[in-house]
Amino acid sequence: MNASKSEVAYQLLHTRITEGTFTPGYRLVLGTIAAELGCSVVPVREAIRRLEAEGLVSFERNVGATVAAADNALYLHTMQTLAIIEGAATALSAPFVDADQLAAARAINQAMTDLLTDFDPPRFTELNNEFHQVLYRNCPNPHILDLVQRGWNRLALMRSSSFTHIPGRARESVREHGQLLDLIEAQAPAAAIEQSARAHRTNTLNAYLAAANMPASPL
Amino acid sequence: MNASKSEVAYQLLHTRITEGTFTPGYRLVLGTIAAELGCSVVPVREAIRRLEAEGLVSFERNVGATVAAADNALYLHTMQTLAIIEGAATALSAPFVDADQLAAARAINQAMTDLLTDFDPPRFTELNNEFHQVLYRNCPNPHILDLVQRGWNRLALMRSSSFTHIPGRARESVREHGQLLDLIEAQAPAAAIEQSARAHRTNTLNAYLAAANMPASPL
DNA sequence: ATGTATGAAATCGTATACGATCCAGTGTGA
DNA sequence: TCACACTGGATCGTATACGATTTCATACAT
């Protein structure tokens, strides 16, 4: 038994939020959650404050906690941040990506390509996550790794909303994946890899912004 | 009265750590801090977990918390991360920097230049902080702003150690500040500003790494 | 009808208490 | 001497309890 109750509470709430059981706006009441977990409110409170620090939950003193709302601004800021961080993470990770990982990434991207003809958004999103995780997993900087994960969590918050799947973006996306893999395999300069990985995210963001008649991200 | 006790405890510990009263390795005992603050351990515990999430404190279950240790690896990772984040923050902020802010930044940099003849490391560090804060303060992305602040906090942790003030770096630094200001004033492309702001940090990092016979940062 | 006062219910914030866990120092046997 | 079990004290983890704060519905005055 290696998990404190606050850890258990944290994990539970975390998965419920990122998997969409608790949608944005859902009210997290200390007593209710504590009762469900069979523990007291103290560890639940701690778990909620951790989730707040990660941006998954918004918390107001003497009022309570709700799953963070997902609006256009949050999507913009999250994707912008993720583009920057993940670009750096991928570049820093690239020298340590071995042949097996490269092959795995290519296989995932092939699966995504196959999926284009019979499009399945949730599956596509899942494969996309796997693809990118393979590419940044070796990043030797733990801070950056942590921040990428945080960005993904924030992004998961918006999965249920209409923030994903701009028409035509999926096909474009797998092409960009291929280019990125080529750069990594050729051991291109870090700056080139960073630029490619960031642009991939930024393109997705800008496709969304264009559809919403908003100006493109400057970075 | 708008501050909860856990907030008070957080602020107190935060300033003590970043100002160097509690140096790395210092043991934070719940009961002791609670007694000093005249409150119970529950809010102190919450404060410490927040500090842990920010990386200022390392915490071990059933053992306790200590101010995070600062070693070469932490310095490298922190500066690398800060270079990336602050570069982006400065670039995103640049379009919103007005004439007053620009003038203030130039004044600070002039004060830093004057200080070169009669060097005073703590004062130089302080001015340097102010300078950069002016430049990234207008960043419209709250996530990035938050991450920059977090990076600075981590950096503050290492102020007392021998991590700063590589010979000759101060003079180089004020020159780079001037170049960065020129780019912002000329409303250069975001990418150019980002590149300049990042390089400024990376140069400092690499100067340290070179002095420690370590390879330069790849980004 | 609108705005304001009032009260009760819901919920949070933290003090206190106690069991659980870890650690350091001591003693015992090989 | 060394390895290991044991024990006492320090410290953490969380249950419980209760006061503090917010919220919302209701009643009242304008």
ipTM: 0.90
Query: Which pLDDT does position B2 carry in this prediction?
Result: 64
Mean pLDDT over B85-103 rounds to 97
Question: How many CB pairs below 8 A link A and B?
Answer: 77
Which is more confident, B166 or A164? B166
Instruction: Give percent of chain A with pLDDT exceeding 90.
Output: 84
Please, which residues have CB within 8 angstroms of residue A175's CB and are 6 or more apart in sequence? none
CA angle A155, A161, A166 (to 5 degrees): 85
Q: Is B164 a residue whose pLDDT tops 70?
A: no
Domain boundaries, chain B: 5-67, 72-211
Would the pLDDT of A162 be above 80? no
pLDDT at B120: 86
Confidence of residue B122 (pLDDT cuts 50, 70, 90): confident
Using a 7 A cutoff on CB, list residues near strand C.
A 1, 28-32, 41-42, 45, 61-65; B 4-6, 34, 39-43, 46, 60-63
- Better-scored residue on pLDDT, A127 or B120: A127
- Once rounded to an integer, what is the mean pLDDT over residues B61-76? 93
The verdict on a CB contact (< 8 Å) between B61 and A191 is: no
Distance CA B21, CA B35 (A): 18
Q: Which positions ≥6 away from B201 have C-beta within 8 Å?
A: B79, B82, B83, B86, B87
Question: Under an 8 Å CB criterion, which residues of B touch A?
Answer: 4, 42, 45-46, 49-50, 53-55, 61, 76-78, 80-81, 84-85, 88, 91-92, 95, 141-144, 147, 154, 190-191, 194, 218-219
Residue B163: the pLDDT is 66
- pLDDT value of position B200: 97
- The yes-or-no verdict on residue B1 having pLDDT over 90 is no
Q: Tell whether the model's pLDDT for residue B22 goes beyond 70.
A: yes
On the question of pLDDT at A135 being above 90, the answer is: yes
Which regions of B22-102 does DSSP assign to beta strands (E)? Answer: 27-28, 57-60, 64-67
Check pLDDT > 80 for residue B165: no
Closest CB from B50, B80, B91 relative to A49:
B50
Chain B nearest CA to A30, separation (Å): 15
> Residue A165 pLDDT > 90, yes or no?
no
Choices 3.50.50.60, 1.10.268.10, 1.10.10.10, 3.40.50.12780: CATH for A5-67: 1.10.10.10
CATH architecture of A72-211: Up-down Bundle (1.20)
Q: Which nucleotide is nearest to A59 (CA to C1')?
A: C12
- Closest partner residue to A219 (CB to CB) among B80, B92, B218 is B92
- Cβ distance of B45 and A46 shorter than 8 Å: yes
Structure tokens at B44: 């102190």
* Mean pLDDT of all residues in A92-110: 97
How far apart are the C-alpha atoms of A216 and A204, rounded to whole Å?
11
What helix, strand, coil percent values describe chain B, rounded to 5? 70, 5, 30
- Please name the nucleotide lying closest to B61, CA to C1': D12
Mapped onto helix, strand or coil, the DSSP state of residue A13 is helix
Rounded to whole angstroms, how far apart are CA atoms A213 and B44?
Answer: 47
CB contacts of A194 in chain B (<8 Å) are 219
pLDDT one-digit tens code per residue, A46-80: 999 999 999 999 999 999 999 999 889 999 999 99
Residue with tokens 């830093």: B112
Q: Which amino acid is at B47?
A: A
The verdict on a CB contact (< 8 Å) between B88 and A84 is yes
- Compute the average pLDDT of residues A78-92: 98
Q: Percent helix, strand and coil across chain A, each rounded to 5? A: 70, 5, 30
Q: Find and list the nucleotides of strand C having atoms within 7 Å of a protein beta carbon.
A: 10-17, 20-23
User: Which residues of A make CB contacts under 8 Å with B?
Assistant: 4, 42, 45-46, 49-50, 53-55, 61, 76-78, 80-81, 84-85, 88, 91-92, 95, 141-144, 147, 154, 190-191, 194, 218-219
Nearest CA in chain B to A48: B46
Tokens encoding A151: 């960005």
Average pLDDT of span A1-30: 91
Q: What is the pLDDT of residue B152?
A: 95
pLDDT of residue A3: 82
